[in-house]
C-alpha cells in the first residue's frame, strides 16, 4: 500500500470519547464529517487531516481526552530509535492495527504523540 504522505509529517489526530455514536452524530451534524466504523470501539474520519475517535470505558480524564497527534513514518523502527536517542520515552510499544503499526512516545516535555507506518 502506498500513501502520498510525507515522512515525519503529522498525518492523523485521535480523540477519546465515551460514546462513539454520539461523537458521530455531533461531528457529522456540526461539521458534515463522515465516518468509517472499525468495530464498536473505533471510528475514523477525514476532514483536511485524517482522524479518529477511540472509545474510553470510563469517565474521560483531562489527560486522557487530549487529542493524540499521530506522525507518519516510512521507517517506523528507525523513527523509534531516533525518539529514544533524543531522550524520548516509548509509552506504548509498537502494536498492529487495521492498516499498519504504531507506537506512542513522550517527548519529555509534557507531550505524548504517536507514530505510525504501514
In the chain, what are the domains? 10-117 (3.10.180.10)
DSSP string, 65-116: HSPEEEEE-SSHHHHHHHHHHTT-EEEEEEEEETTEEEEEEE-SSS-EEEEE
Closest CA to 10 of 118, 84, 89, 115: 115
pLDDT at residue number 76: 95
pLDDT at residue number 15: 86
pLDDT at residue number 3: 59
pTM of the model: 0.69
Q: From first to last of the 118 residues of the chain, give the pLDDT tens digit.
A: 445 678 998 889 988 888 899 999 988 987 788 999 999 999 999 887 888 888 887 665 556 668 888 989 999 999 999 999 888 999 999 999 998 999 998 887 677 889 999 9
pLDDT at residue number 1: 41
Amino acid at each position: 500500500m502506498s500513501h502520498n504522505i510525507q515522512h515525519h509529517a503529522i498525518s492523523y489526530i485521535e480523540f477519546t470519547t465515551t460514546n462513539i455514536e454520539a461523537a458521530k452524530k455531533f461531528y457529522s451534524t456540526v461539521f458534515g464529517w463522515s465516518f468509517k466504523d472499525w468495530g464498536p470501539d473505533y471510528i475514523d474520519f477525514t476532514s483536511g487531516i485524517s482522524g479518529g475517535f477511540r472509545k474510553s470505558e470510563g469517565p474521560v480524564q483531562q489527560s486522557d481526552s487530549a487529542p493524540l497527534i499521530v506522525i507518519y513514518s516510512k521507517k517506523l523502527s528507525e523513527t523509534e530509535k531516533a525518539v529514544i536517542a533524543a531522550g524520548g520515552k516509548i509509552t506504548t510499544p509498537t502494536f498492529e492495527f487495521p492498516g499498519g503499526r504504531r507506537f506512542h512516545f513522550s517527548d519529555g516535555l509534557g507531550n505524548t504523540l504517536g507514530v505510525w507506518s504501514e
